[in-house]
Amino acid sequence: MEQSKLKLLLKSILSLESEEECLGLLEDLCTINEIEDMSHRMEIAYLLNQGKTFYDVQAQTGASSTTISRVSRCLKHGRGYKMVLDKIVDKKS
């Protein structure tokens, strides 16, 4: 991936100041299905982070075992989900 393009995208995201602005950019960049897929994966990550079991998450969300496994792996070994979830959970407290 060309770094200048990635940097432009990242700076664009970081410039957003509200949920409305964020949704506006997402709607322009992504299809409705892509936004729904990302939202679904965030819900799965949130539930797993709250200690829900694999089966509870599957029953609650209807997600495939493949999707839950991938999100779980990223939650444990990646950087993004855990960092974001820690930030939004702190704000709720």
Per-residue model confidence as pLDDT tens digits over 37-87? 999 999 999 999 999 999 999 999 999 999 999 999 999 999 999 999 999
Q: What are phi and psi of 22, to 5 degrees?
A: -65, -45
More confident residue, 66 or 89: 66
Residue 1 has pLDDT above 70, yes or no: no
Residue ranges of domains in the chain: 1-30, 31-93
Q: What are phi and psi of 6, to 5 degrees?
A: -65, -45
Which residue shows structure tokens 């959970």? 89
Per-residue model confidence as pLDDT tens digits over 2-48? 889 999 999 999 999 999 999 999 999 999 999 999 999 999 999 99
